[in-house]
Structure 1
Amino acid sequence: MKRIKKRKKGEAGKAWIFLLPSLTGVTVFVLLPFMDVIRRSFYEAMSGKFVGMDNYKLVFHNEAFLLAVKNTGRFLITCIPLLMIISLILSLLLYNQRKYGGYFKTSFLFPMAIPVASMVLLWRLYFHENGLLNVLLAHMGKEKIDFMNTDHAFWVLIFTYLWKNTGYDMILWLTGLNGIPVILYEAASVDGAGTWAKFRYITLPRLRTSVYIIGILSFVNSFKVFREAYLISGDYPQESIYMLQHLFNNWFVSLDIQKMCAAAVLCIFLFVIIMLVFKKLDMEED
């Protein structure tokens, strides 16, 4: 027993040695700066005077912050369920597709290889006031739609997110599906189970871990859509796609440090709560 304990301690020590460079980098470049952000959120940026919760009150009464939170929340609630459902359906369709499966997987992953700047040019080509879609509408005898300067911009952003991330999530679903033993489906077929019964009682329960992982990754990737919105519409886009990323970018440019620090702390706090909720739901399902 003593030898086993010594061996485990030695292995743990080696693991910490290998982790030390990464932990040092994360501490120096992430944790310590964020601790300073928390400290600054309670002080005035210029005078350094302690103001307590005044910066947080200022943020909560800021119309731009409230609009950005509303739009970001609406975007997350809309795009993440759509992405997970669409990618799951596609993965189920491709699961048993042997002949052309590789071709379709590659085609769905292709959007991830396109540079953001090139993709923005593509969207302008389609969704501009004089773009291809409006030319098509004009030929059909309908009025033109200014997609990027009306509420339609929100759905263009949703489409952009789905188009770029569906293939990525589809591959993750396929990984989970490939981990399900085929013998379970064969046994269910022998017992007379149909397609829906197999999906409900075999596939879904076995994909619980995948649901949690894909949900977290989809949530994180949803914040990367800011690049497309920024390159298409600039610092101040149409109201429906004014996100938290736009707000922080504008506050950073104007060096509004105290509001930016307070809002960052609030967003990180909200992010931690969402992660805990995801984790709790995953544990309850298990």
Structure 2
Amino acid sequence: MRRRMFWPFVAPATALFVVFFVGPTIGVIWISLNEWAGAGPMSWRGLKNYVTLVQDPTFQTAFSNSMKILVLVGGCVFLASFALTAALREMKGKRLARSIIFFPVLVSGIVIALVWGILFQHGGTVNSVLGNFGVEPISWLNSSNMFTMIGLGMVWINVGLYTTIILAGVDRIPIYLYEEASLAGANAWQRFRYVTLPLSRDVVSVAAVLWTIESIKIFEFIFAFGGTTNDMPPTSVWNSALFVYGESFGSSAYRFGYASASALLMLLVFTAFVVLLRRLTHREPLEF
């Protein structure tokens, strides 16, 4: 009976997976081996798109920026999330605090980008506040500072989500473990270091995988923050998602084959990161 009921339940999900994931992936692989403008005939190029890609300075910049987002921005997100987790767990009114820090997650990335720009433009709120203390206006949004400001914006957007995920894991830890640690003379940092972190490792591992996947898809915040109504952001702040868009829809070239090669290459790189991360963080499940 169970065997007969297996396929009726699995088949719809399998069909959707093939249609919306496997099929498009195969299509991207085929397009990446051709030169194509999005319409009309294709011209076979084989692996030439990939060879040209790894030698392209713009792609190298986009790849480097993607790695910075993954490692540096991700590191800041998790450090801030750990700090907030340690603070929120033992404070009064933590439910209200959780709602406040989670709010940026609910807002569109484009809206956040516009707000971020208003705050840090030359005559914006931040410079106005600093001016009250005699500080000269700072060019937060010039070309040398723009990617740093983008990184800070992404930290602000994401820290609420990952704090909430980690706190959900921390809330599962029995309270008596903290009580025993307190009776043993452990301070707040030691309770966090020797109780919270080890027992929430599985949740942190899942959150790290989610960030790895999310970091390759970041697009609208950079696009809206660094661009204008008529132009894309400067290539110095492009990541892999913006590179794919810029090579396909963002210019008059419409190099869909080249963009597909970039998308596929970054998919393989980040898939390798996810597999490696899962292997490094794998352990036997703890029961408590």
TM-score using structure 1 length:
0.86
The number of equivalent residue pairs is: 276
Max radius of gyration: which structure? Answer: 1
Q: Percent identity over the alignment?
A: 26
1:76 alignment partner, one of 70, 80, 83:
70
Residues in 2 aligned to 1:268 and 1:175: alpha-carbon distance in whole angstroms: 29
**Offset at residue 256 of structure 1 (A):** 0.2
> Are the structure 2 counterparts of residues 144 and 111 from structure 1 closer, same or farther at C-alpha, using a change threshold of 3 Å?
same
Superposition pairs of residues 32-43 of structure 1, within 5 angstroms: 32-43=23-34
1:29 alignment partner, one of 20, 25, 30:
20
Superposition pairs of residues 193-272 of structure 1, within 5 angstroms: 193-234=186-227, 235-253=231-249, 254-272=253-271
8 Å CA contact 2:98–2:164 kept in 1: the answer is yes
Superposition pairs of residues 162-177 of structure 1, within 5 angstroms: 162-177=155-170
- Secondary structure in structure 2 of the residue aligned to 1:148: coil
2:175 alignment partner, one of 166, 182, 206:
182
Q: Residues 87-107 of structure 1, C-alpha deviation per residue, up to 9 Å, x if partnerless? A: 11111211123x311111111
2:104 alignment partner, one of 83, 107, 111:
111
Please tell me whether residue 61 in structure 1 is matched to residue 55 in structure 2: yes
Q: Which runs of 5+ in 1 are unaligned?
A: 1-6
**Offset at residue 217 of structure 1 (A):** 1.9
Instruction: Give the letter aligned to residue 93 of structure 1.
Output: A
What residue in structure 2 maps to residue 128 of structure 1?
121
> Are the structure 2 counterparts of residues 144 and 256 from structure 1 closer, same or farther at C-alpha, using a change threshold of 3 Å?
same
> Are the structure 2 counterparts of residues 75 and 225 from structure 1 closer, same or farther at C-alpha, using a change threshold of 3 Å?
same
Q: Which runs of 5+ in 2 are unaligned?
A: none
Residues in 2 aligned to 1:93 and 1:196: alpha-carbon distance in whole angstroms: 10
Instruction: Give the letter aligned to residue 55 of structure 2.
Output: H
**Offset at residue 194 of structure 1 (A):** 4.4
Instruction: Give the letter aligned to residue 282 of structure 1.
Output: T
Instruction: Give the letter aligned to residue 209 of structure 2.
Output: I
> Are the structure 2 counterparts of residues 114 and 36 from structure 1 closer, same or farther at C-alpha, using a change threshold of 3 Å?
closer
**Offset at residue 233 of structure 1 (A):** 2.4
TM-score using structure 2 length:
0.85
Greater per-residue helix proportion: 1
Instruction: Give the letter aligned to residue 164 of structure 1.
Output: I
**Offset at residue 193 of structure 1 (A):** 4.3
Q: CA-atom RMSD, angstroms?
A: 2.4
> Are the structure 2 counterparts of residues 192 and 139 from structure 1 closer, same or farther at C-alpha, using a change threshold of 3 Å?
closer
